[in-house]
Amino acid sequence: MSRPEHLAPPEIVEMSERAIELLLLPDDSPCLVLDVGCGSGLSGSVLEDQGHFWVGMDISTAMLDIAVEREVEGDLMLSDMGQGCPFRAGAFDGAISISALQWLCNADKTSHKPVQRLYKFFSTLYACLSRSARAVLQFYPENSDQMELITTQSMKAGFYGGVVVDYPNSTKAKKFFLVLMTGGNVPLPRALGTDEDSHGVTYTAKRERMKQQRGKSLKKGRNWILEKKERRRKQGKEVRPDSKYTGRKRSGRF
Amino acid sequence: MKLLTHNMLTSKCMKGVSVGYPLGINASDVRVSEVDFNPDFIARMIPKLDWAVLYNAAESIGQLEDLPKDLANNYENDQEFLKKVHHVLLEVDIINGELVCPETGRKFPINNGIPNMLLNEDEV
């Protein structure tokens, strides 16, 4: 799996586009979106391109200063997601977060308790979203325990939803998106790179099994060929003489 | 920080604060910059806004111009009105100053246009 430190900006843009796609914002109407862990505003620029206005929060002053230099349109705020999202109820039409959530699982200070910080984040995020709004959070879980910790706390805060894994069979392209919904349990969107219709693997397994049961084809052995030549000779037909090469496979060079 | 963000921002994440809204503004440097006017977005935002808070905030930093105290009835089609709201919401930027929690008086500094909402460990 690719780690955040190896990421080039194009990949962030790609992930932001996918996150916005999963957000299912209403078509053709500009929305107010919260970007959690906005960093230098790369994901925000994607939101701008799609005509939305955004408010970003990040814990790093250095990254926010870069965002100011880049003259992003969104508004920025220095804030720790583990301390909650300090917004009025129903303020946002949606929320995205790119590669930020996994930081909440770390206890960088002795006072940090990951479970409490995750719950505080998710419960305040739930409160500041409008009705039937979604939050899509791309993250890098270190292991399955982390993933469970995160999903449990988000469900406890009142969200419906779960993790959508794009390209689950690829180590490099594999991406985890936590898709959280506020209004009722709707089926999760299909992940990219999964093809549920094909049963290719099970089919070949069955064929292999049947083949082994039947054994080697009768008509392929040396004995069967010698017998057949003998029958033809008896019928008076022209048949090549038997030799040590009869019934052998051709060499690979042929 | 734009007044749209101020209209959404609270200090309720602090321990002992129940509402934390609206935050007071002490602005020392306010800048006005031009932003593309998007009437759809403004019309969509107006129902979400707390109008009185927006009015008072604009008044406290001297950027009121001629914003009406009460919301007009059919504002969706009133381009002039939407433009005024657009100006106050998105074009006015507080570069330096501070936000004040209405319940505890805790001050949140604004530097380089970015409000610092980080809390100390004993405030969480």
Neighbours of B71 (CB within 10 A): 15
Residue of A nearest to B94 (CA): A75
* A106-149 per-position pLDDT tens digit: 888 888 899 999 999 999 999 999 988 999 999 999 888 999 99
Residues of chain A neighbouring B19 (CB-CB closer than 8 A): none
A177 phi and psi angles, rounded to 5 deg: -120, 120
B20 near A CB under 8 A? yes
Interface with A, mutate which of B5, B54, B121 (most A CBs under 10 A): B5
Q: What is the pLDDT of residue B50?
A: 93
- Say whether A76 and B38 touch across the interface (CB within 8 A): no
Please enumerate in sequence order all residues whose Cβ is within 8 A of that of B90, keeping only pairs 6 or more positions apart, or say none: A53, B2, B4, B35
Sign of CA dihedral B72, B77, B78, B82: positive
* A150-160 per-position pLDDT tens digit: 999 999 999 99
Q: Where are the domains of chain A?
A: 8-181, 200-234
Please name the residues between 38 and 57 in chain A that touch chain B, using a CB distance below 8 Å: 51, 53, 55, 57
First to last CA, chain B: 24
- Name the fold adopted by B3-112: N-terminal domain of TfIIb (2.20.25)
* B65-86 per-position pLDDT tens digit: 888 888 877 888 888 899 999 9
* A32-90 per-position pLDDT tens digit: 999 999 999 999 999 999 999 999 999 999 999 999 999 999 999 999 999 999 999 99
Residues of chain A above pLDDT 70, percent: 91
Residue A140 is which amino acid?
Y
| Average pLDDT value over all residues in chain B | 92
Q: How far apart are alpha carbons B33 and B90 in whole angstroms? A: 9
- Say whether B8 and A31 touch across the interface (CB within 8 A): no
Q: How far apart are alpha carbons A105 and A150 in whole angstroms? A: 8
Q: What is the pLDDT of residue B94?
A: 95
Residue A119, both tokens: 């719950």
Residue of A nearest to B92 (CA): A75
- Name the fold adopted by A8-181: Rossmann fold (3.40.50)
Q: Which H/E stretch holds residue A17?
A: helix A9-23
CB B52 within 8 A of CB B72: no
- Say whether A80 and B119 touch across the interface (CB within 8 A): yes
> Does residue B39 come out as left (phi exceeding 0), alpha (psi in the -120 to 50 range) or beta?
alpha
CB A148 within 8 A of CB A163: no
**Is it the case that residue A208 has pLDDT exceeding 80?**
no
Cis upstream peptide for A86 (omega within 30°): no
**Is it the case that residue A202 has pLDDT exceeding 60?**
no
- Residue B16 Cα to chain centre, angstroms: 23
Half-sphere exposure of A5 (CA within 13 A, CB side): 0
What's the rounded mean pLDDT across residues A210-225?
80
Q: List the pLDDT tens digit at each of the 124 positions of chain B.
A: 999 999 999 999 999 999 999 999 999 999 999 999 999 999 999 999 999 999 999 999 998 888 888 887 788 888 889 999 999 999 999 999 999 999 999 999 999 999 999 999 899 8
**DSSP string over A221-232:** SHHHHHHHHHHH
Q: Where are the domains of chain B?
A: 3-112
B2 near A CB under 8 A? yes
Minimum-distance CB partner of A86 among B11, B41, B112: B11
Q: How far apart are alpha carbons A108 and A93 in whole angstroms? A: 31
Q: How far apart are alpha carbons A188 and A162 in whole angstroms? A: 7
Give the pTM.
0.80
Radius of gyration of chain B (CA): 15
B99 near A CB under 8 A? no
Q: What is the pLDDT of residue A200?
A: 42
Q: Closest Cα partner for B84 from B56, B55, B61? A: B55
Residues of chain A neighbouring B4 (CB-CB closer than 8 A): 32, 53, 55, 75
Instruction: Burial-class residue A153 by CB neighbours within 10 Å (0-12, 13-18, 19+).
Output: buried
Q: Closest Cα partner for A179 from A1, A12, A23? A: A23
**Is it the case that residue A171 has pLDDT exceeding 80?**
yes
- In angstroms, the separation between the Cα of residue B34 and the nearest Cα of chain A is 11
Residue of B nearest to A109 (CA): B121
Radius of gyration of chain A (CA): 30
Q: Closest Cα partner for A36 from A111, A88, A102, A89? A: A102
- Say whether B45 and A88 touch across the interface (CB within 8 A): no
- Say whether A29 and B44 touch across the interface (CB within 8 A): yes
β-strands A160-166, A75-78 pairing: unpaired
Q: What is the pLDDT of residue A203?
A: 56
Q: What is the pLDDT of residue A6?
A: 54
Residues of chain A neighbouring B9 (CB-CB closer than 8 A): 77, 86-88
- In angstroms, the separation between the Cα of residue A134 and the nearest Cα of chain B is 17
B9 near A CB under 8 A? yes
- Rounded-to-10 torsion of CA B72, B75, B81, B82: 140
Residue of A nearest to B108 (CA): A78
| Average pLDDT value over all residues in chain A | 87
What's the rounded mean pLDDT across residues A23-29?
86
Q: Closest Cα partner for A139 from A83, A82, A84, A97? A: A97
- Say whether B8 and A88 touch across the interface (CB within 8 A): yes
Residue A105 is which amino acid?
C
Instruction: Flag whether the ipTM exceeds 0.95.
Output: no
pLDDT band at A23 (very low <50, low <70, confident <90, very high): very high
Instruction: Burial-class residue A130 by CB neighbours within 10 Å (0-12, 13-18, 19+).
Output: middle
